[in-house]
Structure 1
Amino acid sequence: MAGLLEALDAASGKARYVGGAVRDALLGLAVSDVDIATSLLPQDVLARLKNAGIKAVPTGLEHGTVTAVLPGGPVEITTLRRDVSTDGRRATVAFSDDWQEDAARRDFTFNALSADPMTGEIFDYFGGLDDLDSRTVCFIGDPLQRIAEDHLRILRFFRFHARFGAGAPDAQALDACTARANDLMALSRERIADETLKLLALADPVATVRLMADRAIFRPVLPEIGSDGVERLERLVDRERAFGIAPDPLRRLAALLPADVDKSMAVGARLRLSNRQQKRLASAALWPASSESDPAIVAYEIGGEEALDRLLLRDEDQGLDVAVPFLSQWVRPRFPIGGGDLIAMGLTAGPVVARVLKMIEQEWARGGFTNDEAAIRMMARAQVEGALRDRI
């Protein structure tokens, strides 16, 4: 990092740490991503990094961003900017040399903090330090204007409140988000999914999600989420905590949705989730139907992750103290019989082999997945003989 800062002439005030890295460092949190702002133009940044022997990738030159590839990980370097125009989804920018003008583009006051990497001096143009100290998420300037510039800031407000907020949210910001909730319909579904899953991945988003449901924030884009879903989410979070299970945003989204496969599939498609995520969301919607089933058999049939989803989402608590730890460490047993074994026992190659093999597998699963080879072969032979008799 020292070589990068030298290349950017940070000692002369041409580069600062900005955004989340500054905020998290002040809160004593681990800093994962470091972003740097600079008064240097992008082409100058590229030339300086090349001269310093630092690999540079022009990841977004039109927006002033160059990524420096360092041994400790990539660092984004962005030239100071001002907005020329915005439409709620994207912005057209012009480069600037004014640090406050650049900071004013950001969403919340504590995200606009910057720090001199050489001296540690903090630059605070909008009262971010006070808001950070009080754990209050406040927009910079007029909340309605900030939301008009980028509608995603509605969801970001609630995510940041869930992560950093304490006590009641800022009333002016909350009212603005409530008034402009319909603006979310103009966003891409991918952006909505990404922000929603980030919120649900936090340690305990229940109070914030309840506030969003009460304020009808979800209604324009996820009308399926209601108060009953928030109660299921609260129960799920309590169970995750009790069993030491890491937060799973997709499972938590499933908790918010009704136990309806068609609606879950519609939500997955609407949010442009991956095929695997859509399948898992739809599977989780079947939690009431599988609540009386043997967890090991359900896991064998649909997979351990999906079985754990259904188990943690079910209404009753009875048996969870045994079943959840079991599924958390479950390893899929290997079915020891193959089609060739059945052909060797007398079946003719064809569809009958697959059908009989499935019947044996089901019997083996219901019997507790025994690894007794003699018992398995006896089971298989009985099924084969039955199939042969049926063919006569």
Structure 2
Amino acid sequence: MGLDLDSLTDDLLAGLPPGPDWSLLLEIGSTRHLVRVVDGALRHEGAPGINATWDVGFAVTDEEWAAFCADPPPRGATSAQALVATRGSERITGRREVWARAAPAIDRFLAALRGTTTPKRPDPPKPPPGFGPTVGRYLHLDDGRRIFVETAGEGPPLLCLHTAGADSRQFRGLLEDPRVTDHHQVIAFDMPWHGRSDPPDDWQHRRYTLDTATYASTVLAVADALALDRPVLLGCSMGGAIALYLAAEHGERFRGVCALEGGLGSPGRFVEWTHRADVDHSAFLTSWVGGLIAPGSPEGPRARTLWGYASNGPGVYQGDTAFYSIDFPPIAAQLGRATCPLHVFSGEYDYSATTEMSRRAAEQLGGELVVMTGRGHFPMSEDPEGLLEYLLPVLEKLR
């Protein structure tokens, strides 16, 4: 297997946080390569000798490497951490806390050795200079919570729910697109603890954990406070999961529901490394979720999607995954049919809420499945144009 080890250069460490020295045994098929990071410099030492030691090992089979190097790669083979999430964590040996700290670097090492790059779709046009159409304000709920809300456009309301560990910035593409705002008042808000919405005053002394009841009541409270008359509800990932719940339990409140990448729970997404004192959660998260982005998504939106994860509060992503990995699955299993029109959207590259999971959700709740070829887990954020190709016809039906 011909690997270009000269591609492993110090440039691969650019922008990553400094930390203690570490070493990696990278096994690809039958080849073994020892890589060390010493004083912020990268050096590869080839096959390790009998007396060599290392902190962590990362193994990829020949079959997995062939999938990883395909153009384009299949779902679950888009990054090193995608392989961990979909094909087993047993490939990690040694000190797993070192793996978690080094995860972004390991992603870059494997990407450099891959030697193939899937062409990216073009970035959307840059907006003209000056203020955009979106207005952001704070909404005060009856219980005292302070919620940041962004709005744009006119028409039947379209209420948008962001993904775990993120915020309403993910809906910038919809908020600024006249193909949506000419027909809908688009409303996106940050859940408490997220983005520009406040956490409780005692946030430093508690662990944030979201559950189904709190999440559903918060969405309904925001809709009530804004006096929304049967909005279309659009949620992604955890927002898609709660959208399924609301379609079944409170469907009369909505003109229709669009559940993006929202299955009936995803047990594998709750991991301890997203909130530990010895791991930079912002760096780890960009790696942990990065493989969910479709390989063809535009560079600019891809980067902004990952920045959203790098810039949220400690423990917020983990607290959100407690909802859809632990609390929601047994509740979702008991849900009946949706009592409003329901469309379940699934991106080809989503291994968190796979197309198979989305199909089961659509069948259980009586919704229509919309499979989005070549799209990822964050379609409104990583590739707004790619989402609208599938979303606009559905919104037209729901108006």
TM-score calculated relative to the size of structure 1: 0.22
TM-score of the two chains, using structure 2 as the length reference: 0.22
Larger radius of gyration: 1
Higher relative CO (Cα under 8 Å, sequence separation at least 6) belongs to 2
**Richer in helix (by share):** 1
